[in-house]
Structure 1
Amino acid sequence: MALAAALSCAPATVRAEEPAQSGLQETPEQRDARLAWWREARFGMFIHWGPVSLKGTEIGWSRGGERRGTGGTGQIPVEVYDNLYKQFDPTKFDADEWVAIAKAAGMKYLVFTSRHHDGFSMFATKQSDYNIMNSPFKRDVVGELAQACHEGGLRFGLYYSPPDWHHPDYRTENHQRFLEYLHGQIRELLTNYGKVDVMWFDGLGGTAKDWDSPALFKRIRELQPEIIINDRAGLPADFGTPEQRIGGFQNNRPWETCMTICNQWAWKPDDQMKPLKQCLQTLIRCAGGDGNLLFNVGPMPTGEIEPRQVDRLKELGAWLQQYGESVYGTRGGPFKPATSYTSSHKGNTVYLHVFDWIGDSLELPPLPKKIVSSTVLTGGTVELRQTGEGITLSVPAADRQEIDTLIRLELDGPAGDIPPVVAATGSVAAGKDATASNIFQKMADYGPDKALDDDRGTRWATDGGTKQAWLEVDLGKPVELAYALINEWATRVQSFELQVKRGDQWETIASGATIGDSLQLDFPPVTAQVVRLNILEATEGPTIEEFQLYPPKKK
């Protein structure tokens, strides 16, 4: 993994897939039918695990030695990393328990790392001796998980890394011999373990030629005709894979956010775990953007999933037990995601998820269908007024939930017939003049105005390698301000300050460390015309989806 940090900010252009590329001849209707279960599922478990859990460092990336095709190296000497399997004996591994945990979380499918970039296979492969059967454990983890998923009613998927930094022929003059090994392993995985529902490649930006993907895909489709394949083997395939961030609204191509429950993909002692609010809102925002969430856990070297992670997953499952109708089997919209809310729909029903109330009410754009009833599913009452200009919703403060106030709206016709609509956020910065210190490749598509357009599907981006940058907005006149809402495309900012201009000087009114997916930054009321988000430190080129400024909330 870690692909988002390795590649530039710019998204790849997705073209319509040709049957010759995918290895599958099917109509759009047949394709929709094949993907139907996956789109309805919305929530899956990702598992990164291997001998590296003995060290508590990142899988693959902490391995020392050469990374042909990628560059860089890890902190564990290669002779140590590559021999960890000789100590790997996770006797408490229980595939049935993992499946039970996933189901308790409300997850509908599971994707496991059969082989990561480090080349160690967690299954009984005949293509290489570097596999789990030659460890002290001597059990086929993929086989046991496949059986547990099949018997437990959970869809089963396999992660597989085309890059293999351990293989001697990888990206050498003998690369063709490496491809025979790669294709052979895929054949084993799709032949020996019953039905496989998802093939999840992680090609680190490699091309289709690098993996001979057209031939590979053709073989995959022959072995598993109903399988779903992601977009990381050099071909668009079936779905996109934003990493460690929530994908932008997209209802014309399936997508799935992959994200960790802590910071690291593999297990790390005392790793910082995401709070329930962030976990739950991430899932809801993915559904509202018409995407899935593949949520990762990294089991411990004993073979157990860390108890605190299990508890967090069960909290998610408890919420889904009550309100899963607003996630499972829904499509995103009709209201496009905003900082303070998102929406999903099914039939004539719209589910409105409100995360933050700005003032006494929520203002939504108009809908071409009539709202015939409204209910607060999380408890309480709602007042609603619908006109040709818009919709106003109000829920008493006592009935507003800290994580998600869920309101069900019944329309007089199918919500799916409504084109997605964007709501004005009320930000006083929306549409105002903006400048920035750096713009990704000087492309207008990533200009500073994209952070002020009330649309999280666009963003201001900076060049790769940028560690400091600023975004400035001129409000046109002095305005009283009390807080900002900032959305980062990927968590890269490590230190920032919010400044207002006083003559020729800048005055800092607030500061912080990370921004992340969504940050509300409160500060004592101040009147200003020119405001700057000054990023002091970032791990990679900062990328901001929305920079919104608001006056004091009405009491």
Structure 2
Amino acid sequence: MAWSITASAQQQGIHPASTQYEAPTDPLVKQKLDKWQDQKFGMIIHWGLYAVPGMIESWSLCSEDWITRDSNSYYGDYKKWYWGLKEDFNPVNFNPDQWAKAAKTAGMKYLVFTTKHHDGFCMFDTKETDFKITDGPFKNNPKANVAKYVFDAFRKEGMMIGAYFSKPDWHSPNYWWPVYATPNRNNNYDIRKYPWRWNAFKQYTYNQISELMHDYGSMDILWLDGGWVRPRETVNAEVLSWGAPIPEWSQDIDMPKIATMARKAQPGLLIVDRTVHGAYENYQTPEQRIPDHKIDNPWESCMTLGGAWGYVPNEKFKSASRVIGSLIEIVAKGGSLLLGVGPSADGTLQQPIIDRLAEVGKWMDVNGEAIYNTRTTEVYKDGNTFFTQSKDGKTMYALLPLKDGEALPTSIEWSGNMPAKGSKMILLQTKQKLKWSAKDGKITIQLPKGLQTAAVAISFTPA
């Protein structure tokens, strides 16, 4: 059976970033957050049932006007078909070591893996439902509990580990009660009238997160998606302006109880309750965009390497230069880049993804000093040149990203961020000293001819 699905305005599925921020007070969380801010570059992996047909993740189940199905289709049949993909998902070539090696080669330092997306299909061996990877054709494979093996593979590469978990669960009868229709992303019954049903969903959510926190090794990040599942009192004018449907009742899942349990199991755990400003959004997560200004709060831009989060056939991937340019801009503005890739249904990354990440890694190998363990400068940009500095403030970096096909200029100029008198300007890629001059508050640096690079990175001692 073939289905025609169009995400006519997929941007509506994107989480806007909250603008309010509450810094954590727990010393262990603060310490972990500082470590996370040193990493700068991570990988988010979307993998689930949606990889089988190669389509938009989960959202095709949602009845909102930005999702268009075949006009001759029947929604009940569609849901039955989608849930039935469980019997077709058999990733016999599942290769988490390949994924982790590709991330390591790219210079990535942390992982966020989708243990469960909005469709409710679990990529771990939960005891709470049989709608999971370990209850289908892959169940007898030695690596059937895929989340465990993904986390282990990335830990072996020395990376921080994050578990993505969707708070909404459209497969759960306690979220989308089959008695009623499913008009949008929210739960489809009045929680005030049926508190017992919502309490059952809260317990289900608590139990699944507890499994992840207790049974899958050391965790650094609990990355909670589905920000519309939130206490009603957090729905302010900003949230309303995002345009997502908001029910009259509170979809509160008791984050204090979840956080207490999770941090008892994983001391210092970073919790990212996306867009729900407050004590459980330890860093902010603008999606598919780079903020237009420097942000002093901890944050990351989660962006895709291709056009979609998960696997789709014939995908067009961003160039290495574009990824590097985004990374430079994000880090200069105080954030980290979480780059999204989607393994195919057989469990492997497509070769173009691996090749692209390797290209990024070649640049990071020789220029990573200007990215990792850095913090923002007061003047983060002048013209097309961005700036970062070491945590101790003793070294500053100037970075000039180049667009695809753009020729290297013969010199770089900027104002502000003056070097110390007699400072050496070092081109990180070749370690050579560059000639520079200062006149009328403007720095001019001569660049070598014939340099092949996606971005110029120069270190110097600030005045």
Which category of TM-score, normalised to the shorter sequence, fits these structures?
A: 0.7 to 0.9
Select 2:388's aligned residue among 344, 347, 354.
Answer: 344
| Corresponding letter in the other structure for 2:215 | N
Select 1:175's aligned residue among 194, 198, 203.
Answer: 198
Deviations 1:495-537 (A, max 9, x none): xxxxxxxxxxxxxxxxxxxxxxxxxxxxxxxxxxxxxxxxxxx
| Corresponding letter in the other structure for 2:174 | D
| Corresponding letter in the other structure for 1:112 | F
In the aligned structure 2, how far is the partner of 1:222 from the partner of 1:72?
Answer: 41
1:105 is displaced (CA, Å) by: 1.4
Select 2:20's aligned residue among 14, 35, 51.
Answer: 14
Aligned residue number for residue 148 of structure 2: 143
Aligned residue number for residue 95 of structure 2: 94
Say if 1:8 and 1:296 are closer, same or farther in 2 by CA, change over 3 A. Answer: closer
The alignment's TM-score, normalised by the length of structure 1, stands at 0.66
Gaps of 5+ in 2: 1-6, 71-77, 176-186, 232-249, 403-407
- Quick check: which has more Rg, 1 or 2? 1
1:360 is displaced (CA, Å) by: 5.9
**Are 2:258 and 1:216 aligned?**
yes
Say if 1:217 and 1:258 are closer, same or farther in 2 by CA, change over 3 A. Answer: same
Aligned residue number for residue 487 of structure 1: none
Aligned residue number for residue 107 of structure 2: 106
Contact 2:412 2:444 in 1 (8 A): yes
Deviations 1:267-293 (A, max 9, x none): 011111101110111112222112111
**Are 2:232 and 1:186 aligned?**
no
Answer 1 or 2: higher relative contact order, Cα 8 Å, separation at least 6.
2
Aligned residue number for residue 46 of structure 1: 44
Aligned residue number for residue 245 of structure 2: none
- Equivalent runs, 1:489-508 vs 2, <5 Å: none
Say if 1:150 and 1:368 are closer, same or farther in 2 by CA, change over 3 A. Answer: closer
Deviations 1:56-103 (A, max 9, x none): 10111123xx55xx7765648211111101011101002222212211
Aligned residue number for residue 447 of structure 1: none
Select 2:300's aligned residue among 242, 256, 259.
Answer: 256
Say if 1:3 and 1:294 are closer, same or farther in 2 by CA, change over 3 A. Answer: farther
Contact 1:249 1:336 in 2 (8 A): no
In the aligned structure 2, how far is the partner of 1:227 from the partner of 1:58?
Answer: 30
Contact 1:373 1:411 in 2 (8 A): no
Aligned-residue Cα RMSD (Å) equals 2.7
Aligned residue number for residue 401 of structure 2: 355
Aligned residue number for residue 161 of structure 2: 156
Secondary structure class of the residue paired with 1:296: strand
Aligned residue number for residue 241 of structure 2: none
**Are 2:270 and 1:228 aligned?**
yes
Secondary structure class of the residue paired with 1:219: helix
Secondary structure class of the residue paired with 2:381: coil
Which stretch shifts more, 136-145 or 391-400? 391-400
| Corresponding letter in the other structure for 2:32 | R
In the aligned structure 2, how far is the partner of 1:367 from the partner of 1:31?
Answer: 35
Aligned residue number for residue 26 of structure 2: 26
| Corresponding letter in the other structure for 1:242 | P
Aligned residue number for residue 311 of structure 2: 267
1:137 is displaced (CA, Å) by: 0.6
| Corresponding letter in the other structure for 1:353 | L
1:7 is displaced (CA, Å) by: 6.4
Deviations 1:172-212 (A, max 9, x none): 33222211111111011101111111111112333245222
- Equivalent runs, 1:223-372 vs 2, <5 Å: 223-232=265-274, 234-236=276-278, 237-250=281-294, 252-337=296-381, 340-346=384-390, 347-355=393-401, 361-365=412-416, 367=418, 370=421, 372=423
Aligned residue number for residue 384 of structure 1: 436
The alignment's TM-score, normalised by the length of structure 2, stands at 0.79
Say if 1:92 and 1:339 are closer, same or farther in 2 by CA, change over 3 A. Answer: farther
Report percent identity of matched pairs: 31
1:339 is displaced (CA, Å) by: 5.7
1:381 is displaced (CA, Å) by: 6.2
| Corresponding letter in the other structure for 2:395 | T
In the aligned structure 2, how far is the partner of 1:320 from the partner of 1:375?
Answer: 16
1:5 is displaced (CA, Å) by: 3.1
Contact 1:381 1:396 in 2 (8 A): no
Contact 2:22 2:277 in 1 (8 A): no
Aligned residue number for residue 227 of structure 2: 204
Contact 2:105 2:357 in 1 (8 A): yes
Contact 1:382 1:393 in 2 (8 A): no
1:327 is displaced (CA, Å) by: 1.0
Contact 1:355 1:403 in 2 (8 A): yes
**Are 2:455 and 1:410 aligned?**
no
Contact 1:369 1:411 in 2 (8 A): yes
1:377 is displaced (CA, Å) by: 2.6
1:396 is displaced (CA, Å) by: 4.3
In the aligned structure 2, how far is the partner of 1:325 from the partner of 1:397?
Answer: 20
| Corresponding letter in the other structure for 1:35 | L
Q: Please state which structure has a larger fraction of its residues in strand.
A: 1
Secondary structure class of the residue paired with 2:91: coil
Contact 2:283 2:300 in 1 (8 A): yes
Say if 1:384 and 1:205 are closer, same or farther in 2 by CA, change over 3 A. Answer: farther
| Corresponding letter in the other structure for 1:13 | T
Contact 2:382 2:414 in 1 (8 A): no
| Corresponding letter in the other structure for 2:259 | F
Which stretch shifts more, 333-342 or 71-80? 71-80
